[in-house]
Amino acid sequence: MTSVQGTAVDIPTEDGTADGYLAHPGDGSPRPGVLLYMDAFGLRPHLRSMADRLAAAGYTVLVPNLFYRHGGAPVFELPEFIDPRARPEIFEQIGPVMQSLTPELAMRDADAYLRWLADSPLVAEGPVALTGYCMGARLSLLTAGTFPERVAAAAGFHGGRLATDTPDSPHLVAERVTAELYFGHADEDPSLPPEQIERLEDALAKAGVRHRCEVYPGAHHGFTQADTAAYHQDGDERHWAALLDLLKRTF
């Protein structure tokens, strides 16, 4: 097993400084870069452990605190085990913060995160990969379409609102994507109904994007997050297999 080093980092952006977490193999040699986009609960121990697992597989992984405009991580006080049904007030806090991260702001930040990775001596030269969870899946798709020359592969898991009928829907960037994409959708996810799954698939197919979209049966929105009530072990294991497969094919 590759030894892993994890450190807190600061990433300068146009609007301030984003705190983040960087995980990489302990030998310090440059490895392919992966930008990991968090879910709405934010940068916390579970996401750091996900980054460590990717680093152990041979990658340099950056997990920025996407909500840095509202303070350093943790932005919200979270219990060790997150069950929004038991604590509905969690979403009352998170909702406005999540909505304040507009696609325009998120892509301005994405530029900074990608530049930071490109400048890091721990990251191999060339385009990087993305993986995103919940809201991060949406950002993964948007980033792949906004910075095609810098993204070689992008994955998203239990993403919501990926193909809405609004003018800023993520699926509308499909024609600019050059990366290979993979999406693992949650089964019966209210934030991604069947018509959106179909609309996303159609957009990617029409644009000629190399992609694979799969629905994970029995898995709920948030199924990869082991510190939440939505966790689904089979879905999570399938996600790791699909993600590592995509990264192997890419790098």
- Asked if 204 and 211 count as a contact pair (C-beta separation under 8 A), the reply is yes
Fold assignment, 4-250: Rossmann fold (3.40.50)
Residues 34 and 63: their CA atoms lie apart, in Å, by 9
- Give the pLDDT confidence score for residue 188 in this predicted structure: 85
The 10s digit of each residue's pLDDT in 176-209 is: 999 999 999 999 899 999 999 999 999 999 999 9
As given in the structure block, the two tokens for residue 37 are 């986009």
The mean pLDDT of 44-55, rounded to a whole number, is 98
Active site residue 119: no
> 24, 158, 171, 189: which is the annotated catalytic residue?
189
| pTM for this predicted structure | 0.98
- 118 CB burial (10 A radius; 0-12, 13-18, 19+): middle
> 221, 232, 236, 239: which is the annotated catalytic residue?
221
> 134, 171, 220, 239: which is the annotated catalytic residue?
134
- Give the pLDDT confidence score for residue 176 in this predicted structure: 98
The 10s digit of each residue's pLDDT in 209-226 is: 999 999 999 999 999 999
- Using alpha carbons, select from 213, 143, 202 the residue that is nearest to residue 178: 143
Instruction: Domain ranges for the chain, please list them.
Output: 4-250
Active site residue 189: yes
136 contacts: CB under 8 Å, gap ≥ 6: 36, 37, 38, 39, 66, 156, 159
- 24 CB burial (10 A radius; 0-12, 13-18, 19+): buried
The mean pLDDT of 105-116, rounded to a whole number, is 98
The mean pLDDT of 5-9, rounded to a whole number, is 98
- Give the pLDDT confidence score for residue 150 in this predicted structure: 98
Active site residue 221: yes
